[in-house]
Structure 1
Amino acid sequence: MMELRTMKILFFSVITTVYLLSFFVVPPIWEDADQYLIRYDKFKKEVTEKIFGDPLTNTDAYIINTYYYPKSKSLGENALAMVLLMNRNTMRDITKYKMQLVATNGTGESVTVTPRILKEAYANCAYINIITHSNVIENMKKLEIVNGETRMEIPFRSPRVTAPAPFIICISPQFVAEQWQIFVAHAHIAHYFGGHLHLYITSMLESYFNLVKEYEKLGYVTADFWMRYKFPNSTLDSPEPNSNVEWRNQAGAHTDCLLQYKEVASFISFVDLDDVLVPRGFDSYFDEFSNLFYFHPNILTFQYPKREIMLHNKPNIQNINLVEQFSHSWFGTYEDTGKIVARPVDLDSMWIHRSFYVPDKKFRVVDHNFLLHMQRPVDTNGQDPITYEMRSFQIYKHLKLNESVLEPVQRELEALLNSTHFKEVAAKLPTHAYYFPIMFRCYFEKYYKSLDNTCPNGEGCLIPQRSDFPCIHSDADYKSGPSMNPITFHFHENARWSKDIGCYT
């Protein structure tokens, strides 16, 4: 039997021989040494990732927005917060990545910081929502990411200094959006009870977009850009970002909205457009939420469950009756996972349904109210546009809203409809659903039906383009920074609305 010492010597000799042959003997005598090294590097990369989890090649990241707070109640003085999309395979634990930032003030003084990194992601996607927090220098005028001798300047902006309402409702990004009836209902209900919609838009029917802009003028909504991700100069073999991010990076939009209103809103929520909340037992959102936090002082986030309500779309805005739509007893037979309400000072980041940095003992599901989920309205012709995976509805009299609650909201809508200009804008809205059943079918087949471990998103859906349904799409100037190790950073400037891109996710 071979002694252990002899076995160790033999093993070390074999490893050393293989190493010397691989790097110093074979390449010079092999006619195609470059191809040999390429194949060897690929093999080395695959083995390392398999065993250790850290790749040996560079990755890409996209900087969505960066905010500078001279004074923050929760983040401290001269605080910096950045929302990014990063490749989770950059290292085994992406939160351990040591980003180097250099902040410079107006007199040339600078500080170098390594920010704290938070990860708000759940699905098995290559790109994940990342948030960084740090404190830099007073009167910062310039911000750079530094890697050795390589520097890249990062654009930054100030958070909002006022809030249009005490309660900000952050809406998930809209894409190929056409359900204007749901927007009208949500905008009026939210406005009446003291809320304001912050609506992220990737693409939307032009007539619907024009309606949103009219509501923006009236102070009901803020329309904001939500970009597709583009890497003008990506690293080798980099995954396509839009196909490899969870639900179009809703978590990134929610976090961006949080950071915009962090210092000025009393309360904030993160919902889909078809999730509307009506206060129960209180005259306003502010009163209901204040009551919750008063009686549960140790809770940071309250989650309102969702329950689907039967809804019939109307072909024109003059026919919309909010009392008829919501003061009835037909509801879905079960509740879905809800969305949260929080005080923005209590959160530093956000996922889709909650923040992973709020412990369970500080998280509470509300039992006195719920979100009205307007997911699948019956179309204007009386037909259900979704004829598969039908939901079961029953009469639940105890859930019915009192008609008197929504009557003043309906009067506000009717008063708005007296405007001649508003009527002209509304007259161009589509009278039936076209894209909604297409997108729902794609999501159903790609994700809800299969329930596999792939990355859930809307990429790959077949979206027919129609000249009679033109879309407005977000656009910008996309930039790539210099190549850095291990991450090359990308960002955009000059965000704008475009009529030339089409209706895409």
Structure 2
Amino acid sequence: MLDFFILISRGKRFVRLFVCLLFSLLFLLLFALLAGLTIFDNQHNNIIHDYVARNDDIIVLSTTFFENSQSFPPNTAVILFNSVQVFHLKHSTLNVIAETFDGNKEIKFEIHPVINKLPFFCKWVPYLAIGQVPEDPVLLKLSTNGKDGMELSLRNPYRTSHNVVACFSPMFLNERWQLLLSTVEVYSHYGAFLHFYVRSMITDLFDLVKSNKNVKINAWPSLKMGNYRAASPTFNPNTELEFRNQASAMTDCLLLYKDSAKFIMFPDPDDFIIPTLGRTYKEEFIKMFEMFPTAGALAFNMTQTEIESTTSPFRYSPLSLLSSIKFKGEQRWGKLVVRPEKVDSVWIHKTYGLKKGYEQKTVPIQLNSALHFRFWNFTERPKNRSAPFYDPTLSLQENRTVFKLSDGLRIEKKFKNHIRNNYQIFSRLPSVSLYYPLIESCYNRIFYEKTNIGTCKGPEYCNIPPFIGLRCTNVASEFVTYKSYKNVFIHQLVSAEFEESENGCTL
């Protein structure tokens, strides 16, 4: 009998030991899981923290109303906004109240990420919220309580027809007039209407570009949030937006010209696409999309080039600049051209907003590419050369020149005519670059040299000193905040205007 009780006692000890070991193992597993999630969260811009957060912020940039569109049902409104990269996983819709003469109607606007990629290396990304509203609404407002709300500032898309529109990425601290003046002349010559987004630019260059009738310039502000917010008081959303909120600007431009342009291009100011299949962009793109009938978007691979120019406005020549092109044999990400009725949003190198049945295709580099004017050399007297051969892979397989000399001569002539009418402004352009070397050094460090891959990269990480006495055109903006939407603080851009400064350019 005694032996029996001893066995029972030992059994209980084994059970207790087993239970202790089991709880210890579970604790270790839980600790490892939490540690792993913490490491993952830190490595992926706090994506888990943002997902479990109770409240969120959104910043509304624009609301475009399409009464009759080739892309949307009648009376569709499209809200463009920024928020954390997991916002669409937490909120599938935005609640909009449409006030009409017949009463109010509640509408669910479906949310679509512009960058449908998780995890993304920037915490904040652009979104579209799309909904069909009653005919002739008096106003639209974001609201979850049926009473008050954030009234949306409605705008209409542009109606003036264009064969091709070039929507350029936002420019800041811009002073490289040798580049921008050639950009305007080349794209205009081949039949594109140019739309620029500007955050800051030296005033003389701004005035010179603005004077061109084939150009439109919109102010592109940095983002601001009010005191009522979900984020911490010290958080600056601009540090977590990819390259000055570039995808938002590109999508904003797409929405503006969606029903008035046959084709829309999305280059940087230092990317040059020169037609090869036709005399104009229109002819080029018609033929290319015929080659790729299922394409809603075409990507032109970017090929690196070296160019030569002068620091003196009086010796400057667009033809000389184009003639100096030297290929480096290096290719990078593509630049997009889209059929706007087939695409609802665009990212820098890819569109996730294609209509059903359409895809993005890459143009073979032997056929054409976007020439990236990446490496600059300056000389006192630039030479007039013949048009260089198109040789992006340094293989001399293509027996054709980058451009026709007759086109280069026409570009030069149009440039001189434009400058003749604006000579006083042109003569004041600087011979010394202040901002460009600083930005180039910064971008080489944070982008081209691929350091800190996991961090969001943009000009906010560049150390730019003030230049007192430098005339610049900057952007002044105003945002308003609404705090009563359920679990979301709404900040909306209500104005963005250009203002001149005598104390340099701002980011």
TM-score band, normalised by shorter chain: 0.7 to 0.9
State the match for 1:33 in structure 2.
none
For residues 295-323 of structure 1, the C-alpha deviation after alignment (integer angstroms, 9 at most, x for no partner) is 32211111111112221232344433333
Q: Which of 331, 335, 351 lines up with 2:331 in the alignment?
A: 335
> Which residue of the other structure, out of 107, 114, 122, is the alignment partner of 1:113?
107
Q: Relative to structure 1, is the Cα distance of residues 234 and 181 closer, same or farther in structure 2, using a 3 angstrom cutoff?
A: farther
In the alignment, is the contact (CA less than 8 A) between 2:308 and 2:325 conserved in 1? no
SS of the residue 2:429 aligns to: coil
Q: How does 1:127-142 map to 2 (within 5 A)?
A: 127-142=124-139
- Distance in 1 separating the partners of 2:159 and 2:48: 49
Q: What secondary structure does 2:407 align onto?
A: helix
Whether the aligned pair in 1 keeps the contact of 2:296 and 2:358 (CA below 8 Å) is no
Matches within 5 A, 1:55-74: 55-74=52-71
CA contact (8 A) 1:310 1:393 kept: no
Q: TM-score, normalised by structure 2?
A: 0.82
Q: Is the 8 A contact 2:238 2:244 kept in 1?
A: yes
Q: Give the C-alpha shift of residue 120 in structure 1.
A: 2.0
| Superposed displacement of residue 484, structure 1 | 2.9
CA contact (8 A) 1:88 1:126 kept: yes
In 2, Cα distance between equivalents of 1:361 and 1:114 = 26
- After TM superposition, the structure 1 stretch with the greater mean CA deviation from structure 2, 339-348 or 52-61, is 52-61
Residue 228, structure 1, aligned to residue 230, structure 2: no
Offset of 1:416 from its aligned partner?
2.2
Label 1:395 to 1:463 Cα distance change in 2 as closer, same or farther (>3 A).
farther
Partner of 2:296: 300
Give the aligned residue type for 1:280: T
SS of residue paired to 1:304: strand
Q: What secondary structure, in the 3-state scheme, does the structure 1 residue paired with 2:377 have?
A: coil
For 1:82 and 1:485, the matched residues in 2 are separated by 18
2:370 and 2:357 map into 1 onto residues whose CA distance is 21
Q: Residues 484 and 184 from structure 1, CA distance in 2 versus in 1: closer, same or farther, beyond 3 angstroms?
A: same
120-129 or 253-262, which deviates more: 120-129
Equivalent position SS for 1:247: coil
**Residue type at the aligned position of 1:154:** L
Cα shift at 1:495: 2.1
Say whether 1:98 aligns with 2:96. no
Pick from 386, 403, 406: which aligns with 2:405?
403
Contact 2:167 2:266 in 1 (8 A): yes
1:92-139, Cα deviation, whole Å (9 max, x unpaired): x25x4331011123x243322111211123532221111111111111
Letter in 2 for 1:273: P
RMSD of the TM alignment (CA)? Answer: 2.8
Aligned to 2:248: 252
Distance 2:461 2:268 in 1: 22
Shift of 1:474: 1.0
Cα displacement (A) at 1:225: 0.9
Tell me the residue number matched to 1:372: 371
1:191 and 2:192 matched: no
Contact 2:80 2:126 in 1 (8 A): yes
Distance, in Å, in 2 between the alignment partners of 1:362 and 1:317 is 44
Q: Deviations over 1:418-475 (max 9, x none)?
A: 32xx000111111132211101111222333314211111113111111242221111
Name the aligned partner's letter for residue 416 of structure 2: E
Matches within 5 A, 1:50-449: 54-90=51-87, 93=89, 96-105=91-100, 107-121=101-115, 122=117, 123-149=120-146, 150-163=148-161, 165-215=162-212, 219-238=213-232, 239-327=235-323, 330-358=326-354, 362-367=359-364, 368-379=367-378, 396=396, 398=399, 400-401=401-402, 402-419=404-421, 422-449=422-449
Asked whether the equivalents of residues 170 and 249 of structure 2 are also in contact (C-alpha less than 8 Å), the reply is yes
Unaligned runs of 5+ in 2: 1-10, 24-41, 383-391
Q: 2:305 & 2:429 partners in 1: Cα distance?
A: 24
Cα separation, 1, equivalents of 2:444 and 2:371: 21
Deviations 1:169-220, CA, capped at 9 Å, x for gaps: 00000011111121111111111111011000001111211112212xxx22
**Aligned counterpart, 2:467:** 466
CA positional deviation for 1:377: 1.9
Report the residue type matching 2:218 in the other structure.
D
| CA–CA separation in structure 2 for the residues paired with 1:394 and 1:51 | 46
- Is residue 251–residue 351 contact of structure 1 (8 Å, CA) maintained in 2? yes
**Residue type at the aligned position of 2:170:** P
Give the distance between the partners of 1:370 and 1:135, measured in 2 at CA: 39
The answer on whether the counterparts of 1:160 and 1:264 sit within 8 Å (CA) in structure 2 is yes
Report the Cα offset of residue 56 of structure 1: 3.3
**One-letter code of the match for 1:443?**
Y
Separation (CA, whole Å) in 1 of partners of 2:191 and 2:348: 23
**Separation in 2 of the partners of 1:74 and 1:184?**
34
Instruction: Return the offset for 1:268.
Output: 0.1
Report the Cα distance in structure 1 between the residues aligned to 2:166 and 2:126, rounded to whole angstroms.
20
Structure 2: distance between partners of 1:345 and 1:255: 13
User: Which residue identity lines up with residue 487 of structure 2 in the other structure?
Assistant: P
> Identical aligned pairs, as a percentage?
24
SS at match of 1:302: strand
Q: Is the 8 A contact 1:231 1:480 kept in 2?
A: yes
Write the letter of the residue equivalent to 1:476: S
Deviation, 1:394, is: 6.0
CA distance change for structure 1 residues 114 and 494 in 2, over 3 Å: closer, same or farther? same
Between 120-129 and 331-340, report the one with greater CA deviation.
120-129
- Would the aligned equivalents of 1:311 and 1:376 in 2 still touch at CA under 8 Å? yes
Measure the CA separation in 2 of the matches of 1:50 and 1:372: 36
- Note closer, same or farther for the CA distance 1:369–1:261 as it changes in structure 2 (3 Å cut): same
Q: Match of 2:505? A: 503
Aligned amino acid, residue 110 of structure 1? N
**Equivalent pair of 1:330/1:395 in contact (CA under 8 Å):** no
Equivalent residues of 2:201, 2:472 under 8 A apart: yes
The alignment's TM-score, normalised by the length of structure 1, stands at 0.82
> Quick check: 1:302–1:363 contact (8 Å CA) kept in 2?
yes
CA deviation vs aligned residue, 1:3-35 (integer Å, no higher than 9, x gap): 9xxx9xxx9xxxxxxxxxxxxxxxxxxxxxxxx
* Aligned partner of residue 189 in structure 1, secondary structure: helix
Contact 2:310 2:381 in 1 (8 A): no
* SS of residue matched to 1:83: strand
Looking at structure 2, the residues matched to 399 and 132 of structure 1 have their Cα atoms a distance apart, in angstroms, of: 46
- In structure 2, relative to structure 1, the CA distance for the partners of 1:393 and 1:376 (3 Å cut) is farther
**Aligned residue identity for 1:372:** L
Q: Distance in 2 between matches of 1:484 and 1:363?
A: 37
Other-structure match for 2:387 = none
Letter in 2 for 1:365: T
